[in-house]
A and B are shown apart, each in its own frame.
Chain A
């Protein structure tokens, strides 16, 4: 039996509301399948599984609030019986010594399908013959209150069957951003480095490359930037990490890409395994992920996995970005706009398209020399776009 628990979808998340089960008991599942939809401050998120097997039991009811880490479902691993297998004869003494006997006892099946309602609401519902399980609570933590029951009795109550209000609002996103950024500024000692990069070769290369592509397959400059960041991280892996009780380097490079929402706020979906994606693959990822991010319909792994963040504010006419790291990551790369600037090189003055790249990094995790190595590598890749 595998316990499936509510994943954490970012440092700022405490809980979400289950809005839909996409599976039912008995359904076979494999790694990457979406089994549920959970509403968070950042919209309706598709929850993926990372196990293979069959759904055993679903433990959470639709519209229930689910704290991060709460048991949501049992998954029967392939090749095991659906019933909890008889405990094997184990060396009890050894187990007790390790103090781990508790783990061998199957998890108790406490029914958690209880309806959260105030005692008064329950009493009135009983008196009026109203089915309280059909009501949507407006009280603390979604509890059903007297008002909800009285509204239902006069027919104006909000039934759960009617789809709930829009998943996330500009205000809830604002709060999520506020929580994450406050934590960052509170806990992370940031240091900042920046460098100017001559983009003439990169842009020239991109124009040529796009000429051979249909409109649909054209690349945007940001794809070059993402790829250059990913490749630079391969050479400077300390910045591709989380700070959680020390530096934890991550083997795969998942770039969190900041998407600004027109209604305000940002959302930062991960582009998975960016180092091993071609430029075309990266463009496809963006095409897939940006509209979903704007519609607040992301997958759990896209919200949870980022190992570094890239923010690109160039289009707003900004030159330099001093970013705030998204915890528990240890670095954020900011790009300003590509602007024509006087450029001195080999004793000659010229006008070049210039990009300012900034690194905000966690000084607990790395020092300026690491950051410098990274920016130097990034610059090299962008000046030699054919290597990307």
Chain B
């Protein structure tokens, strides 16, 4: 998966969890939760979605490291290759 493809999947996931937001407009360094107004419950669903879509495991202590697309996309990309 290219980074562009990963981003597309992430946007689709965010749309599913928060249909009334516009994740397309997120800039790479935007804090996803803050900009979209996503609470911890939705964020957990998002991580669950990521793990299912990309077949990865995201430990709880990593939540803080993947706040923006800029951090999240490489994180997913590296984990997928493992």
Q: Are B18 and A262 touching (Cβ within 8 A)?
A: yes
Q: Are B48 and A215 touching (Cβ within 8 A)?
A: yes
Smallest distance from the beta carbon of A337 to chain B beta carbons, Å? Answer: 11
Which positions 276-301 of chain A face chain B at CB distance < 8 Å? 286-287, 290-291
Q: Are A286 and B48 touching (Cβ within 8 A)?
A: no
A211 contacts the other chain (Cβ, under 8 Å)? yes
Q: Mark B44-61, 1 if CB is under 8 A from A, else 0.
A: 110110010000011111
Q: Which of B21, B40, B57 contacts A315 (CB 8 A)?
A: B40
Smallest distance from the beta carbon of B69 to chain A beta carbons, Å? Answer: 20
A159 contacts the other chain (Cβ, under 8 Å)? no
Contacts of B5 in A (CB 8 A): none
A138 contacts the other chain (Cβ, under 8 Å)? no
B20 contacts the other chain (Cβ, under 8 Å)? yes
Contacts of B57 in A (CB 8 A): 214-215
Q: Give bound CA distance, A90 to B45, whole Å.
A: 61
Q: Are B41 and A215 touching (Cβ within 8 A)?
A: no
Number of contacts between A and B (CB, 8 Å)?
Answer: 34
Q: Are B60 and A210 touching (Cβ within 8 A)?
A: yes
Smallest distance from the beta carbon of A271 to chain B beta carbons, Å? Answer: 13
B39 contacts the other chain (Cβ, under 8 Å)? yes
| Chain A at the B interface: SS class | helix
With CB as the reference atom, state the residue of chain B lying closest to A215: B51
Contacts of A211 in B (CB 8 A): 59-60
B37 contacts the other chain (Cβ, under 8 Å)? yes
Asked if A220 meets B60 with Cβ closer than 8 Å, knowing A215-B48, A262-B18, A262-B20, the reply is no
Q: Give bound CA distance, A118 to B39, whole Å.
A: 48
Smallest distance from the beta carbon of B44 to chain A beta carbons, Å? Answer: 6
With CB as the reference atom, state the residue of chain B lying closest to A290: B41
Q: Give bound CA distance, A315 to B42, whole Å.
A: 12
Contacts of B21 in A (CB 8 A): 262
Count of chain A residues near B, Cβ 8 A: 18
Q: Are A220 and B40 touching (Cβ within 8 A)?
A: yes
Contacts of A214 in B (CB 8 A): 57
Q: Give bound CA distance, A141 to B69, whole Å.
A: 49
Contacts of A286 in B (CB 8 A): 41
Contacts of A210 in B (CB 8 A): 60
A263 contacts the other chain (Cβ, under 8 Å)? yes
Smallest distance from the beta carbon of A287 to chain B beta carbons, Å? Answer: 8
Q: Are A262 and B37 touching (Cβ within 8 A)?
A: yes
Given contacts A211-B59, A260-B39, A290-B41, 20 further A-B contacts (CB under 8 A): A207-B61, A211-B60, A215-B47, A215-B51, A216-B48, A216-B51, A218-B44, A218-B60, A220-B40, A220-B41, A220-B44, A222-B41, A262-B20, A262-B21, A262-B37, A263-B20, A286-B41, A290-B42, A315-B39, A315-B40
A-B contact pairs, 28 of them (CB 8 A): A207-B60, A210-B60, A211-B59, A211-B60, A214-B57, A215-B47, A215-B51, A215-B57, A216-B51, A218-B44, A218-B60, A220-B40, A220-B41, A221-B40, A222-B40, A222-B41, A260-B39, A262-B18, A262-B20, A262-B37, A263-B20, A286-B41, A287-B45, A290-B41, A290-B42, A291-B45, A315-B39, A315-B40
